[in-house]
Amino acid sequence: MSTSAQALAEAAQPIHPPPTSFWRQYVFSIDHKMIAKQFLWAGLLFLLVGGTLAMLIRWQWAYPYRPVPVIGQLFLRENGGVIGPATYQQIFTTHGLIMIFFAVTPVLIGCFGNFLIPLMIGARDMAFPKLNMYSFWTFLLSQLLVLASFLSDLGSAGAGWTTYPPLSTNVGTPGVGQTLVVAAIFVTGVSSTMGAINYVTTVIRMRAPGMGYMRLPLTMWGLWLTAILNALFVPVLGSAALLLLLDRNFGTQFFVAGASAVRGGGDPILFQHLFWIFGHPEVYILILPAWGILGDVIPFFARKPHHWYKGTVWSMVIVTVLSAMVYGHHMFMTGMSPLLGEGFMLFTLLISAPSMVVVLNWVLTLWRGSIRFDTPMLFALATVFVFGVGGLTGLFLADISMDLYLHDTMFVVGHFHFTMAAASFIAAMTGVYFWFPKIFGRKLDERLGKAHFWFTFVGITLVFGGQLLAGYAGQQRRLFDPFQYTFIHGLRGLNRWTSFFAFALFAGQFIFVWNFFRTLFGKAVRAGENPWQVTTLEWTATGSPPPFHNFDRIPEVVRGPHEFSNPEVRRLTGRDFAGQSEVLPGSAGPALAAARG
């Protein structure tokens, strides 16, 4: 028997028959689950490209001026297989851009957002399925633009991922490569905005009956708040990219200054304002889904409700609101007015408060839980650790005095790698291992998963810890050959060992690649509907993988997402969890409960 709310939901989301042609099923699909997989493949592929670029940077610092094995023969033939200064700046530029926009974003937001949002809120698809498809193809176009930039005569972009003018104007970095990359950034921004419109609307409009905001899984809060930030701030990046393209190609003077300026010229710092008004929310865009995923996975594997769910939700909301008000801490050294700088410092210090609430809530969720150390949980716990280190090192950089010394050193690089690369990447791995059975219907191998975990966790800690140490000693970032400076001579050993750990970290990822392909295409155990025995709708109300229409009946939600170890539930069902839409024997059921108000 269905309630009126459920009948309305069924009427608003009728079941359509699945597509039959190959093209509509696998290529031009409007099914959010297939689009999610497309984003996953595209993202993982570029994760490999970005990681390889990182290995080139580490090679240069471990063995400066020596020919690079394999890659040197393939791509650096003209230079004898050796990385030169001009190539080096392209390598670190494209490494940063690819990792942020073309690897982590498609996996965390494109894949998990697309796959999970309709399923976790109890809907049959996104609000705008066709827009969803367009957002993937737009994204693919942007990836192609990046690849095309490598084919240009003068090489790809070389002004750093931050693309500061005047270096990024055609005076500083001539050639079509830089232009293609700026265009790629614009196009990927369009894709992100399209996706954001979809995600925000879907969560607002298509939650199943009974799924109030305070019953949403934290993964949904993370992805929804991320989408709001995307919708608001990616267009600001778009405007910066647009004005830079105009400067490069139409002779305008927004950011051109110095000798090539006409009539006073533009303001390079204007670009920094526009970029960082996007750029700081961007780092929260990359971490909010990670916080969200942890906020569900930790209760799942501690068999305990999330500690102070509301506190975490409000903290994530406050972080979202404050995220654009701290951006100036990237610009402390540009000669800004001291009052403005101090304002930004104040807000940057304040934003550490909600982050601390989120971390402490994880710790207290684990406290007196019944912890299971499956692979997804191991990755989740590693995320807590690396995010903790990353967040704490941010304290140094929030402060103008300490930033006088630490700005543009490897300390900054270590800080953002711990928070962005480590936390977002490891959280993405948490998500992959956790939801792989639901997406593909098979479970990844546990032993290979644990091996991958140890390589990744130890490797990441050692590599980015090494960066923190190097920066603490004063080594600047983006140096082709750091050892031109006498004061860095003593860090040769540190840099070399950090590179060795990086090579090991990179090699360890192939355990995951092997596991991934073997499970997908080889013989593997079929996953059941709810192999992890958890509460959210994608596990309790549909199969693995879900059918095209997701739910035979739109579920009706009667409780929050983390109902674990409730003695009452155990008494009624014999299990230590109750699904979000599970009507317990002896209880009123949603219809009567709704009638009672």
Site for another protein in 268-327 (CB under 8 A): 268-270, 273-274, 277, 302-309, 311
Three-class DSSP category at 442: strand
Rank residues 73 and 370 by Cβ distance to another protein and give the closer one.
370
Q: Exposed (0-12), middle (13-18) or buried (19+): which is 259, by Cβ within 10 Å?
A: exposed
Work out whether 46 is an interface residue with another protein (CB under 8 A).
Answer: no
Q: Does 405 bind another protein (CB under 8 A)?
A: yes
Residue 154, interface with another protein (CB under 8 A)?
Answer: no
Q: If you write DSSP's letter for every residue of 500-533 in order, what string do you get?
A: HHHHHHHHHHHHHHHHHHHHHHS--PBP-S-TT-
Residue 120 CB, shortest distance to another protein, in Å, is 18
Q: Of residues 18, 69, 490, 589, which one binds another protein by CB under 8 A?
A: 490
Of 66-74, 142-150, 337-345, 448-456: span binding another protein (CB under 8 A): 337-345
To another protein, the closest distance from the beta carbon of 303 in angstroms equals 5
231 contributes a contact to another protein by CB under 8 A: yes
Query: Is residue 575 a contact point for another protein (CB under 8 A)?
Result: no
- Stretch touching another protein by CB under 8 A, among 31-39, 282-290, 485-493, 539-547: 485-493
Instruction: Report yes or no: 392 and 465 within 8 Å, Cβ to Cβ.
Output: no
Q: For the chain, how big is the Rg over CA atoms in Å? A: 24
Q: Which is nearer to another protein, 233 or 455 (CB)?
A: 233
By CB under 8 A, tell whether 174 contacts another protein: no
Phi, psi torsion values for 322, nearest 5 degrees: -75, -15
For 136-149, b/e burial (b = at least 16 CB within 10 A) is bebbbebbebbebb
Candidates 52, 450, 573, 576: give the one binding another protein (CB under 8 A).
576
Q: Considering only residues 72-131, where is the footprint of another protein by CB under 8 A? A: 84-86, 88-89, 127-128
**152 near another protein (CB under 8 A):** no
Which residues does residue 526 pair with via DSSP β-bridges, in sequence order? Answer: 442
Angstrom distances, CA of residue 93 to CA of 185, 281, 314, 532, 595: 13, 20, 36, 40, 59
Question: Considering the rule CB under 8 A, would residue 10 count as an interface residue with another protein?
Answer: no
Among 141, 317, 325, 357, binds another protein (CB under 8 A): 357
- Kindly state the smallest distance separating residue 507's Cβ from another protein, in Å: 27
Span of 133-141, 163-171, 213-221, 431-439 interacting with another protein by CB under 8 A? 163-171
Footprint (CB under 8 A) of another protein, residues 249-268: 250-254, 257-259, 261-268
| Cα 423 to Cα 52, 202, 409, 509, distances in angstroms | 20, 27, 21, 16
Is the Cβ of residue 391 or residue 527 nearer to another protein in the bound state? 391
Residues in contact with another protein, counted by CB under 8 A, come to a total of: 145
Backbone angles phi, psi at 346, to 5 degrees: -60, -50
Task: Locate the DSSP E strands across 230-386.
Answer: none
Q: Which amino acid is at 566?
A: N
Nearest partner of 422 among 452, 392, 379, 451, judged by Cα: 379
545 φ/ψ sector (left φ>0, alpha ψ -120 to 50, else beta): beta
CB of 246 to another protein, least distance (A): 6
CA distance 332 to 272: 11
Closer CB to another protein, residue 481 or residue 592? 481
Minimum distance between the CB of residue 317 and another protein, rounded to whole angstroms?
A: 16
Cα–Cα dist 476/484, whole Å: 12
- 201 counts as binding another protein under rule CB under 8 A: yes
We find the least distance from the C-beta atom of residue 278 to another protein, in angstroms, to be: 9
Largest CA distance in the chain: 81
What DSSP character marks residue 544?
S
Joined tokens for residue 586: 């002896």
Residues 446-475 that bind another protein (CB under 8 A): 469, 472-474
Contacts to another protein from residues 524-553, by CB under 8 A: none
